[in-house]
Structure 1
Amino acid sequence: MIAETVCSAVAAAGLGIAAVTAYRKRFLSATRIAAYSLVPLGLVMTGVVEWLADTALSPAAWAGFGVLGVSWVLFVSTRAVERRRGGGTRKERKQARSAQQEAVAPAASAPTLGSGSRPAAKPAAVPQEDFSDIEAILKKHGI
């Protein structure tokens, strides 16, 4: 009963403030204030305030909120552990490992360590690049 009275008083005060704001020719703000002040009155008329007041004073409701809190903590902790371990189910982890192994060139052969019958090939000579134009630009700027 007290909650309904408080909500009705808040709505009446809000409508009064909206009227004063409209008197000052701030119609957009007055309309917004009136909209906000009608919300508590609507909640009282629909019975939501009474339901919330009954819930706030109910030990069973608070126990339910506690159970929801424990459930949330368990959910968050399992997600954190799952991320730390790096994966979901065993099947997903196995597929990820096999995909990772396949990413390394599977058709490549291992290098041989012994001496072969052929001499080692010399690396191809790298052609010398002409940097004369770059040198000219740097000299022009005094570098």
Structure 2
Amino acid sequence: MLSFNDVYHLSTHTRGIQQPDMKFDTVSIFSDELQAKGLFIPIHDKNLDKAIENGAIAAVWLNNESLPNYTPNHFPVIFVDDLVSAFHQLCEEYTRKVKQEEYETMTKFIFYSPELLNAQAFTYDIAVEEETDEFASLLENYIESKRRG
């Protein structure tokens, strides 16, 4: 599971509480997605209030952008120079971490939204969505079988 420490090293500075043992159940680039115990990375939109409302317990934010005035003082914010690069590094590090250790609970990364796909039956988006779901299911089954031994 992704922890605050896994994210902290990406930062130039932070604000709010810093709990090294804080765990993230989700990482999302969408504020309107449910993200229980979530880390919000505002690549798609910057609605921090909506992300907090949907369960975000921390956020990654751009150094050169001001936080909204309503941001709670204790809310953990990790400042970075590039959001996309930080998200990419987190994905790589998490993949490496999962390969080294077994975890009972995994962090869910939300980086696409089915609502954004083109709804026309003859378009590429819908055509590959089913294949993507099948692949994700196969991958989950494979990981589960490896855990069982």
TM-score tier after normalising by the smaller chain length: under 0.3
Q: Larger Rg: 1 or 2?
A: 1
What TM-score does the superposition give when structure 1 sets the normalisation length?
A: 0.21
**Structure 1 or 2: more strand by fraction:** 2
What TM-score does the superposition give when structure 2 sets the normalisation length?
A: 0.20
